[in-house]
Amino acid sequence: MSIRQRKLAVCLRSILGNGTVLSLCFCASAMAQDQPATDAPKPAKVTKSAPASAEEKDAVALGNITVTSQSRTQEVQVVPIPVQIVTQKQIDALAATDLSKMNGYIPGLFVDGSQPTQPVYSLRGITVTDFGIGTDSPIGIYEDGVYTGKTGGALLTFNDIQRVEVLKGPQGTLFGRNSAGGAISVVTNEPEDDWEGKAKVRLGNYGTRYVDGVLNAPIAPDLAARFSFVDTQSNGWLRDTANGQHYNKNDDWGIRSQLRWNAPGDTKVRVSWEHEKLNQPARPAIGLVPVPAAPGVLPFPADPQTYLNPIDAPVYNDVKGNNERRTFDGVSLFVDHSFPFGDLSSITAYRHFSTFNLEDGDGTNQPYLYLDTNNIEQNTSWSQEFKLSGKNDLLDWVAGVSYYHDNARQDSQVNLLTDSIDTLLNNTGVAPGGLYGPLGAALGQPGLLLNNPWQENMINHGRYTAEALYGDVIWHLSDRLNLTTGLRFTRDEKNFSWYNPVRTATQLDATLAQLQALGIFDMPGVPPIETFQQNLEFASPIATNAPLAVKRSWNDFSPRVVLDYKLTPNMMLYGSVAKGYEAGGFNAQQVDAVYQPESVWNYEIGLKSYFPDYRLLFNASVYYYRYSNLQSLSLISNGNGALPLYEVTTSDQHAKGLELEAHWQATNALRFNLATTYTNATYQHYVDPQGVSLSGQAVGEPLWSAAAGAEYVWHDVASGDLNLTVQHAYRGKQRCNSDSAAQGQCLSTPAFTLGVAQNRTDLRIGWSSSRMPWSVALYANNVFNKRYVQSINNISASILGTPFAYITPPRTWGVEVGVDF
């Protein structure tokens, strides 16, 4: 046994015996010191590699590109975890402006972007719909290695994107907290040493107007800048039947500026600033019941047998100030330096966003049914990460420390009119006939207390700190066999507060004060004035006069072990065991509700292969995970005439699944791709807020989803290349359980069925000149105009009898012109 092999054996015994990150890092560093200085890559210097062989070019064309999924630069086909890559070319083929516009083409991933300030991510059946600042998503979203934090700033418009890496399964060791279900890593283009400019304009139906542009400028031999912008606008594809307002509009623009400096001493410095602004109408609520104009004649409760089909139903919304907006700013500083034994990287980042989402909550335009909700957030975060990495013939290692601080504020608002309060009090039996209308009528002034605005607020403030220490080593046990061991220690500290002040009703209170001065509330049969002043939605007495504050902290160790073996130079078999972790949290709308951390153990076996003779790339994996204490959002009845509450509930879930991916270059001109996933996710232990046990029942994720596509290229067509792309996505039917109807996920009515399988077909034909820097394309998304009911919202159904729905977009098409210079 050689000296280096003895050191490797000693290191392995030390790590297995001590099980600490420090042992792992010290051992890896010591091993690396045995290598000559030339082994360490120099990030600041750019060297030209040898020309790629035809086989390598084919592999890259089929998707074997370079990624950084394991905090290392590797070809994706040697990364022993399931990773799906979305390239800029794929984004352009779908005319996608953000990740939600690619739904279906990354099987297993679903992004609900109908509310950009409150998006919902689901991966392998792991979903959290909570938008409160007290909880976190188990799907970590990262941009250039920076954690985006709360979901209000996690779905931004694509702006000069190089690729998106979708990592499935727990990524706790390398990506850290809140990536228990997986991670989505967005990688942008960096400044380069050559002049580059490009722009693209897209015009389409529904008034679609899209433009983006990039300018890359070498300022000096070691200094380069890059500027990019994007602007997306549309008139919307839905209109209000009564007032003609356009809904589902787009009004979003963003810019990014970067500066890269190759400093002396093998150091590279890059600073990036980005700004995005969104300002558009909020998501419309499509009412499911025909609403008469006169109060008191709407059937209650609503009967699903009489529901309208929301795809054809008229739209009536009356929210006062309907708007969804966001302002986002981010600054990042990246510093990379090469030492003889390895590379040191530093990422310092600042993020700030503010959001406002005031939307209709009843799907009608009648005052006696009026309800709207608003979610207002302010979020500021700072993060710092230091990462040291190196490699030699025996191992490839990375170690790091990270710090994250988040300061978040949220104001959850509920707005009603005294008319609609009378309706809910009557419907729920708390005060038959209501309070405000009858009192006015008794005084001979029927409208005296009606049409008065009423607002309730739940105000939250959270201050969170997370610190982590991690290490990850790939041990090259032989030319074919590698063992990866990793461990992360995380400490989370969270301070959180609730404050639900007395409702605001200025106009009503002025009238009540006048009536009190006249002694009206002292008359027999008249309820006391306090009856007219009580909160209905947020009514916790311990947080009414002053905020209630709590503090919690949690520690976690998240390990991973991966074994990969090369059966041939182009075929790898791997197996892994990994733990994911999500910090504990708080229910933003339920005072003094604290939740313990989540954890998931994932077991996976996979195959990655490339067959050069057939120009075929094929990957497969099977997995099983057990998820403990998963935090989810459920709509529950509040009782006593109050609105339903969105309550954070916890459950234990498990799932088994299969994923397949294939890319085949059939000829030089023709290429096919296929991806499919099978997910069988069920509750192990869960009793819903109504006391119903869902243990053993399906979580809701479809069993099957798939995507397939083909691309054909005709060369030398009018001095250019003609390219045709056809793509199809399938998402299986929703798997229903005992709570699905109440949560608006499954329902069958004479007019429509909720939760059916969904299909989407997209086409693009483009031509690019081989002589001039011009290109033109025609595209059509959802070619066959497949429309579906996406979900039902029952927030007003149990009190006003007004359920409403959201639907998927219609067919869209357009023309695109691009120029490179």
pLDDT for 642 = 63
Cβ atoms of residues 812 and 204 within 8 Å: yes
Overall size of the chain counted in residues = 821
DSSP-derived letter for residue 557 is E
CA 687/CA 530 separation, integer angstroms: 37
Segment 196-223, tens digit of pLDDT:
999 999 999 999 999 999 999 999 999 9
Q: Is residue 55 pLDDT above 70, yes or no? A: no
Q: What is the pLDDT of residues 732-776, one digit of tens each?
A: 999 998 888 888 889 999 999 999 999 999 999 999 999 889 999
Q: Specify the 3-state DSSP secondary structure of 768.
A: strand
Structure confidence at residue 48 (pLDDT): 40
pTM of the model: 0.88
Task: Report pLDDT for 589.
Answer: 87
Query: Can you say how many angstroms the Cα of residue 133 is from the centroid of all Cα atoms in its chain?
Result: 14
**Torsion-angle region of residue 782: left (phi > 0), alpha (psi -120 to 50) or beta?**
left
The residues, ordered by sequence, that sit 6+ positions from 153 with a Cβ below 8 Å of its Cβ are 326, 328, 351, 353, 355, 379
Other C-beta atoms closer than 10 Å to the C-beta of 629 total: 17
Q: What percent of the chain has pLDDT over 70?
A: 90
Q: CB count, 10 Å around CB of 597?
A: 20
Identify the band that residue 40 occupies on the pLDDT scale cut at 50, 70 and 90: very low
Residue 603 tokens, joined: 């077991």
The one-character DSSP state at 639 is: -
Distance CA 230, CA 340 (A): 41
**Plot region of 127 (φ>0 → left; ψ -120 to 50 → alpha; else → beta):** beta
Arithmetic mean of pLDDT over the chain: 89
Peptide bond into 80 cis (omega under 30): no
* Residue 54: predicted pLDDT: 57
- H helix or E strand, kind and range, residue 721: strand 720-731
Measured from the Cβ of residue 15, the count of other Cβ atoms closer than 10 Å reads 22
Residue 193 gets the label, from left (phi > 0), alpha (psi -120 to 50) or beta, of alpha
- How many Cβ atoms are within 10 Å of 352's Cβ, its own excluded? 16
**Cβ atoms 63, 506 nearer than 8 A:** no
- How far are the Cα atoms of 62, 97, 227, 390, 751 from residue 148, in angstroms, in the given order? 30, 18, 21, 27, 41
Q: For residue 47, what are the contacts with CB-CB under 8 A and spacing of at least 6?
A: none
**What type of residue sits at position 773?**
P
Average pLDDT on 662-680 reads: 96
Q: Where are the domains of the chain?
A: 35-47+65-289+329-500+556-820, 504-534
Q: What is the pLDDT of residue 36?
A: 38
Contact 434, 421 (CB under 8 A): yes
Pair of tokens at residue 503: 């409702």
Q: pLDDT tens, 567-589?
A: 999 999 999 999 999 899 999 98
CB neighbours of 392 closer than 8 A, spacing ≥ 6? Answer: 31, 32, 34, 35, 39
The answer to whether 53 and 61 are in contact (CB under 8 A) is: no
Gap between the terminal Cα atoms of the chain: 58
Tell me how far CA of residue 49 lies from CA of 46, 52, 305, 799, in angstroms: 9, 8, 67, 68
Q: How many helices (H) and strands (E) does the chain have?
A: 8, 41
* Contact assessment for residue 385 and residue 338, using Cβ atoms and an 8 Å cutoff: no
- CATH fold, domain 35-47+65-289+329-500+556-820, is Maltoporin; Chain A (2.40.170)
User: In this structure, are residues 217 and 173 in contact, taking their beta carbons and an 8 Å threshold?
Assistant: no
Residue 797 pLDDT > 70: yes
pLDDT reported for residue 614: 94
- What H or E segment, with its residue span, contains residue 437? helix 436-442
